[in-house]
Amino acid sequence: TGIDDDSRKAAHGPGKPTTNGFSGEIAVNSVAAETSQRNLAGIAENNLVSSRRSRTSFTALMAYAGIALVFLAGFVLYTAVNWRNFAKTNGPPDRGTKNEEAYRLYRQAENLSARRNRENMPTAMDDLNRAVSLDPNFARAWAAKAHLHRYLAEYPGGDQGEQYKRSMEALGKALAIDPNLSEAHSALCLNKLRYEYDSVGAERACIRAVELDPNSSVSHKAYATFLFSKGRFDQAVAEIKQALEIQPLALENQQTYALALYYSRRYEEEEIQWKSLIESNPPHGYLYIRLFISLKQQGKEDEAFDYLLKKLTMDHVENQIIERFRTAYATMGWRGVTIERIKHPEIEPFTGPFDVACLYATVGDKDKAFEHLEKAYLQRSYRMAVLQVEPQLDAIRDDPRFDELVRQMESK
């Protein structure tokens, strides 16, 4: 009826289709199924994305791990190579002998000779003779003997010719055992420079010594000595500074540095160096002599004379002689002091004909100066190596006899 139809419409609401109960359940289930499928699809898609992300993360992680392994392997290789090089450079040095006693004697002799005190030299030589007797193939001990014989040749009063002969014999044995021994080439350099007057051969040996062992302070010191003797002062200072970097406390290196400054005429720097050495070392007459020469070159005569007096007092020179020096300086200035030094060569342990020639040159006695330079040349004095750069000879450098003497040396 109309009333029933209206009731059904009212129950379902206006404009909505009417269904029976079974049809409604189907519709609801259909919607639920569709929703469930969408949810499952979403979950599957999310799982797929998550899986892709996981694979991407894993791939990236493996890539990073691979890079890390490469770096680690490189670091290990780098460390191994550098440690091997470090061990070669800084590890225990090659002693040159398996005989422990020979090596001990060699080191003891090196320490004694490094002090450059004349009284130590016989003991040092005896130690080296015993070392090569224990091991005749100990090349470094033979090279040390070559250096020590040259040191002995530089002291006045000894047989210089015989000492150089023995030096060359020891040098020959060292090079026969080990032709690539840096210390032997350094000895050869200085022997050629100071005894044979062979500048070309000397520099060749010096360069070879440095090439064979760039970490040898002996090789750099020897080359520095050659360089300042030839007027190549900037190179000399640079070379001795390398020796000082290797062995900063070695007295020989510090003295050679001061001498390089002296021949370079850098007197103020030289003065500082000698004063530092006097303060930091036991009393040594040579240091005082070099200091008062440096002060005199600067015109600091009063201070120079004070250090001369300190040196005389330290050496226990007789008071009578000291008073002569005082009187000479008071009446004649430094010229009077120089004359007294000529009269008393015994107060200066390194005085030879070359040094006496320097004294005569500074007081203007050219004839006496050349007389003693000729003696020094004939005796093969090691001091002749600095003939052309010695500041104390400036007063006679314009004399024709000076050029002739230089030509004689260069023709050897």
pLDDT digits (tens, 9 = 90+) for 5-42: 444 434 444 444 444 443 444 343 444 445 445 554 45
The predicted structure's pLDDT at residue 410: 87
Mean pLDDT, residues 275-296: 93
Q: Is the pLDDT reported for residue 74 higher than 60?
A: no
Between 67 and 180, the more confident residue is 180
Lowest average pLDDT, out of 67-76, 265-274, 351-360, goes to 67-76
The predicted structure's pLDDT at residue 114: 81
Q: Is the pLDDT reported for residue 124 higher than 90?
A: yes
Q: Is the pLDDT reported for residue 229 higher than 50?
A: yes
The predicted structure's pLDDT at residue 4: 42
Task: Tell me the pLDDT of the chain averaged across its residues.
Answer: 84
Mean pLDDT, residues 312-332: 96
Confidence label for 396 from pLDDT (cuts 50, 70 and 90)? very high
Mean pLDDT, residues 98-120: 90
Segment of 59-68, 110-119, 223-232 carrying the highest mean pLDDT: 223-232
pLDDT digits (tens, 9 = 90+) for 35-73: 445 554 454 455 544 555 555 554 555 555 555 454 455
3-state secondary structure labels for all residues of the chain: CHHHHHHHHHHHCCCCCCCCHHHHHHHHHHHHHHHHHHHHHHHHHHHHHHHHHHHHHHHHHHHHHHHHHHHHHHHHHHHHHHHHHHHHHHCCCCCCCCCHHHHHHHHHHHHHHHCCCHHHHHHHHHHHHHHHHHCCCCHHHHHHHHHHHHHHHCCCCCCHHHHHHHHHHHHHHHHHHCCCCHHHHHHHHHHHHHCCCCHHHHHHHHHHHHHHCCCCHHHHHHHHHHHHHCCCHHHHHHHHHHHHHHCCCCHHHHHHHHHHHHHCCCHHHHHHHHHHHHHHCCCCHHHHHHHHHHHHHCCCHHHHHHHHHHHHHHCCCCHHHHHHHHHHHHHHCHHHHHHHHHHCHHHCCCCCHHHHHHHHHHCCCHHHHHHHHHHHHHCCCHHHHHCCCCHHHHHHCCCHHHHHHHHHHHCC
